[in-house]
Structure 1
Amino acid sequence: MDPPSEAAWEDFSAEAHRILDDTIAQMQHVREQAVWQPMPAAIQAAIAEAPAPIAERSLGAVYAELASRVLPYTSANRHPRAWGWVRGQGTPVAMLADMIASAANAHVGAGFTAPVHIEETVLRWLAEALGMQGAGAAEHAQPSGILTSGATMANLLGLAVARAAKAGYDVRQEGLSGRPRMLVYASTETHGWAAKAMELLGLGRRSLRSVAVDAAGRVQIEPLLRQIAADRAQGEQPFALIANAGTVNFGAVDDLRALRALCDEQDLWMHVDGAFGALLKLAPRYASLMDGLERADSVAFDLHKWMSLPFETGCLLVRDRAAHHAAFAAEAAYMEWSTRGVLSGGLSFANRGIESSRGFKALRVWMQLSVHGLRKHGALIAQNMEQAEHLEQRVLQHPELAMLAPRAMNIVCFRYVPAGHARTAAQLDACNREVVLRVQESGRFLISGTTLASGDYAIRVSITNHRSRLEDFDALVEWIVEEGRGQSARLL
């Protein structure tokens, strides 16, 4: 598998340098490229029907196929005008870190090797940045954490810690059979990960209590308290609350301070889904929107969103280190703890989650923060907030555009409304769905759509892009209005 000779290594090095140069050039000139383009049917078929390779091929030939058939048709997250869903763009430094990490091929599940220390370090940095370092009682002054594939996995692990900590018995040993139903509370705006987590943890979807939100999309405290009281009266066991620090639909932030007080009063574990919003703590001007997050029992968030790191980079922080360890720790004869050798220090990260095999994804975090620093990341997050405010004002000022939800953070939900004539809700939904698709297919912008709690379909612009400029959003408004007028005339 390695080049078989010195000459072959030299050929490989030359080809590798060419690929790296091409990749850097693609990133450098990404603004000049289409944001997204559909994959032609012929190329889809060529990939889908390709036989399993038997004989060897040259690296150059394989790269040429990759460059023509795959790279032009990715999901376009890195473009400055990509604002669909909530995605980061990747960075040149993180790209290099991934190359180095892949070459090192480190296992970051057990032992106290240098990569384990790197992950411990970045987790400490992140806990400090979110205010969790030293928050709470003295025994919790050193929080625990783990890097994950994303916030879905981080949220799942956080809820597993909560289940073990609040069950009142050894739930890992005994399971849930014959016990009172363990209940979790969350708002109706909570992301779909929560229902999946309830299934995977054996709690069942019926044990997830969905509570109504107010006009700003925040969970309502009084209905929440009534639901908890009613469940306890039925002999059920409430044990955890999921608070949202930026809902997926339009970025609403629950009252985290009030929910912390409620959890203390009701003896509930407070888990915060901060998939993208948690990192607002890095921007001093806007950090107050996250007040109370630092006192959560656990927080899940993504670094491949508002920190622009490549997929997959999520994080779970747990305020009680002992509780985190107790939820996952396991022993095996073939992974015996030792004070010496490769496994000195035990299973470390393998005892903080469900994965034993773990790669060196911490290196991309460590390198990016070491090169660019937390201050720059905070400034870029603040820039996105200002761009969202700018877009909101453009929408409010335009007679053919209408805001559909309050802008809490960096997500703007609005739609095109043709001037002059009344239209039914169904007609407006159809018009705006078509606008979103046509904007995507134009290759000029990447936006998404969503259906809000009101039932209205909204154009959704989620801004976590460090490469965007204000003029990009001005161009988007013009394009949407132009497309809206065309679709209005055709569909309405």
Structure 2
Amino acid sequence: MHDEKARDARAGGIEEGPEGGGSLDPPDWEEARRLGHRMVDDMLGFLRSVRDRPAWRPIPPEAKAAFGSEAPRSGTDAARVYEEFKRTILPYGLGNVHPRFWGWVIGTGTPIGMLADLLASGLNSNLFGGEQAAAYVEAQVVDWFKSLLGFPAEAGGLLVTGGSAANLIGLAVARDARLAGAREGGLRSLAARPTVYASAEVHNSVDKVVALLGLGTTALRKVRVDDGFRIDVPELERMIAADRDAGCAPFCVVGNAGAVATGALDPLDALADLCEREKLWLHVDGAFGSLAALSPALRPLLRGMERAHSLAFDLHKWLCMPYDVGCVIVRDREAQARTFAAPASYLAPQRRGVSAGPHRFGEQGLELSRGFRALKVWMSLKTHGVERYARLIERNVAQARYLADLVEAAPDLELLAPVVLNIVCFRYAGPGIPPEGLEALNRELLLRLQETGVAVPSSAVVRGATAIRVAIANHRSRREDFDTLVAAVRRIGSGLATERLG
């Protein structure tokens, strides 16, 4: 029994000692090196062969059962743990590494990004700030995007988990910059109720942010959209005026640079003009659409984005960085610092040593403990270059237009929204099916596409109709994949129609 316990301890990487403790380093570094090489080889092989597998597969009960065990009291050999990963986890991912994954707006990842995350984990940096190379890397990455997206070099910026966190930071700074006394005295100290404006197509993270900031969900005024799903600017002006007359305090407008359901682009130049006249903060949620500005051909679609006071965007969507990494840019760096400043003696910077250095990321956002997200962005941009990413974005936009053409050419398919960027919303609409039947049929059709592993689109409701929503942020997709999708939709849809109509 004693020998068995000792073997378990060594397998878990704990060396026995008089105090029963020890390092968590491997007892055999050469064995760990071989296992690490195997892991890298296996994952590169997994990515290389991704087309040979279904886009998604359900998790079988026996695999799920493995996740019902209690916490391990003693260690297991790392090679055995890795085999369990390959058996119960690796085959049953979300599917977003696959060329025919177009659900939500979820990026594909890349081999270089995966390897960069390995390096970042090895360094195990905490990016609160400090005199470390990782801090300079993050600062450089943020500077690159300020320049690429038309913001001044003196603007503030921060890498975050994603667009939701970036929206939180942008709107928190907006609240404190436009509502004097709100940070110190809270919202109760304000004479008028603050209000925020966004289109009816705004991402639900903005609803969450407005609630978290204590404004109340009804403080978010949702403005109707036009036939292209863009915010109705005259209606927005009318709502702001009505709220002022009612004693409210409008302070922020959220513009969409790529509405989540349809990809619609709000008229950002017009919103910037309005915010300038009304002295409002313009925050742009550009989770994926903002990065179309990397393409000279697509940049005019986003005219006015560079005038925003703050911009939120993801790098794990259309730039295909491994999850997670997003970014927020705030035009007024000092305003950003005022919102998140919370001095503490134990965090005071020194003129020399580890806590020196010019970058104090912990004072620019909510998180103090922060991972080295910047490395995968830095290495990916250096490896592929901005121009290659711009071509990828252009190709995805062209693929969306190709898919829209296929849909419009098919007599039993219906395009439900204009295709502006990389999102296509359509449905099966074969003859003789009543409207209520189309809803149920398309919901079932979507699930069968996913469960058979043909492709993974997601859904949206567009003007009351259930849409099969294809959001293309995938560097592995080819035109033939969209031919496969359309053929499958028509085949499955026809079969479902026959089942329902008899």
**Preserved CA contact (<8 Å) 2:162 2:314:** yes
Which of these residues, 468, 471, 474, is aligned with residue 462 of structure 1? 471
Which of these residues, 302, 305, 309, is aligned with residue 317 of structure 2? 305
**Preserved CA contact (<8 Å) 1:256 1:292:** yes
The runs of at least 4 consecutive aligned structure 1 residues that moved more than 3 Å come to: 1-7
User: Paired residue for 1:355?
Assistant: 367
Q: How does 1:1-80 map to 2 (within 5 A)?
A: 8-47=28-67, 49-80=68-99
User: Paired residue for 1:154?
Assistant: 166
SS at match of 1:428: helix
SS at match of 2:427: strand
**Preserved CA contact (<8 Å) 1:143 1:319:** yes
CA-atom RMSD in angstroms: 1.3
How many angstroms does 1:6 deviate by?
A: 9.0
Q: Please state if 1:177 is matched with 2:188.
A: yes
Which of these residues, 87, 93, 99, is aligned with residue 118 of structure 2? 99
1:429-450: per-residue Cα shift (whole Å, max 9, x none)?
1111111000001112111111
**Preserved CA contact (<8 Å) 2:97 2:108:** yes
User: Paired residue for 1:163?
Assistant: 175
**Preserved CA contact (<8 Å) 1:335 1:347:** no
User: Paired residue for 2:8?
Assistant: none
Which of these residues, 218, 227, 236, is aligned with residue 224 of structure 1? 236
Q: Please state if 1:430 is matched with 2:440.
A: yes
**Preserved CA contact (<8 Å) 2:131 2:353:** no
SS at match of 2:417: coil
User: Paired residue for 1:239?
Assistant: 251
In structure 2, do the counterparts of structure 1 residues 280 and 300 end up closer, same or farther at CA, with 3 Å as the change threshold? Answer: same
User: Paired residue for 2:218?
Assistant: 206
Separation of aligned partners in 2, 1:112 and 1:386: 44
Paired amino acid for 2:58: P
How many angstroms does 1:7 deviate by?
A: 7.3
User: Paired residue for 1:138?
Assistant: none
SS at match of 1:386: helix
Q: Please state if 1:489 is matched with 2:501.
A: no
SS at match of 2:499: helix
User: Paired residue for 1:273?
Assistant: 285
Paired amino acid for 1:11: E
How many angstroms does 1:45 deviate by?
A: 1.8
1:50-101: per-residue Cα shift (whole Å, max 9, x none)?
1211122111110111101011111011101111110101111111110010
User: Paired residue for 1:254?
Assistant: 266
SS at match of 1:183: strand
How many angstroms does 1:417 deviate by?
A: 0.9
Separation of aligned partners in 2, 1:55 and 1:335: 37
User: Paired residue for 2:407?
Assistant: 395
In structure 2, do the counterparts of structure 1 residues 7 and 486 end up closer, same or farther at CA, with 3 Å as the change threshold? Answer: same
Separation of aligned partners in 1, 2:139 and 2:215: 31
Separation of aligned partners in 2, 1:459 and 1:237: 40
1:391-412: per-residue Cα shift (whole Å, max 9, x none)?
0000011111110111121100
User: Paired residue for 2:337?
Assistant: 325
Paired amino acid for 1:177: R
User: Paired residue for 1:439?
Assistant: 449
Separation of aligned partners in 2, 1:240 and 1:6: 53
Which of these residues, 452, 476, 484, is aligned with residue 475 of structure 1? 484
Separation of aligned partners in 1, 2:36 and 2:66: 25
**Preserved CA contact (<8 Å) 1:112 1:348:** no
Separation of aligned partners in 2, 1:257 and 1:424: 42
In structure 2, do the counterparts of structure 1 residues 20 and 490 end up closer, same or farther at CA, with 3 Å as the change threshold? Answer: same
How many angstroms does 1:46 deviate by?
A: 2.2
Q: How many aligned residue pairs are there?
A: 480
User: Paired residue for 2:18?
Assistant: none
User: Paired residue for 2:22?
Assistant: none
Separation of aligned partners in 1, 2:62 and 2:31: 32
Separation of aligned partners in 2, 1:348 and 1:159: 20
Separation of aligned partners in 2, 1:258 and 1:75: 39
**Preserved CA contact (<8 Å) 2:136 2:359:** no
SS at match of 1:177: helix
Paired amino acid for 2:188: S
Separation of aligned partners in 2, 1:204 and 1:326: 23
**Preserved CA contact (<8 Å) 1:36 1:75:** yes
Separation of aligned partners in 2, 1:272 and 1:56: 48
Paired amino acid for 1:252: A
Separation of aligned partners in 1, 2:131 and 2:287: 29
**Preserved CA contact (<8 Å) 2:454 2:488:** no
Separation of aligned partners in 1, 2:71 and 2:13: 21
Moved more, 107-116 or 143-152: 107-116
Paired amino acid for 1:435: L
Unpaired runs of 5+ in structure 2?
A: 1-11, 16-24
Q: How does 1:108-187 map to 2 (within 5 A)?
A: 108-132=127-151, 134=152, 141-169=153-181, 171-179=182-190, 180-187=192-199
How many angstroms does 1:283 deviate by?
A: 1.4
Separation of aligned partners in 1, 2:420 and 2:85: 41
SS at match of 2:28: helix
User: Paired residue for 1:195?
Assistant: 207
How many angstroms does 1:341 deviate by?
A: 1.2
User: Paired residue for 2:423?
Assistant: 411
Which of these residues, 451, 454, 468, is aligned with residue 461 of structure 2? 451
How many angstroms does 1:168 deviate by?
A: 2.2
User: Paired residue for 1:263?
Assistant: 275
Paired amino acid for 2:465: D
Moved more, 106-115 or 409-418: 106-115
How many angstroms does 1:478 deviate by?
A: 0.4
SS at match of 1:418: coil
Separation of aligned partners in 1, 2:44 and 2:195: 49
Unpaired runs of 5+ in structure 1?
A: 135-140
**Preserved CA contact (<8 Å) 2:13 2:26:** no
**Preserved CA contact (<8 Å) 1:147 1:316:** yes
Separation of aligned partners in 2, 1:64 and 1:89: 24
SS at match of 1:120: helix
SS at match of 2:259: coil
Separation of aligned partners in 1, 2:467 and 2:244: 38
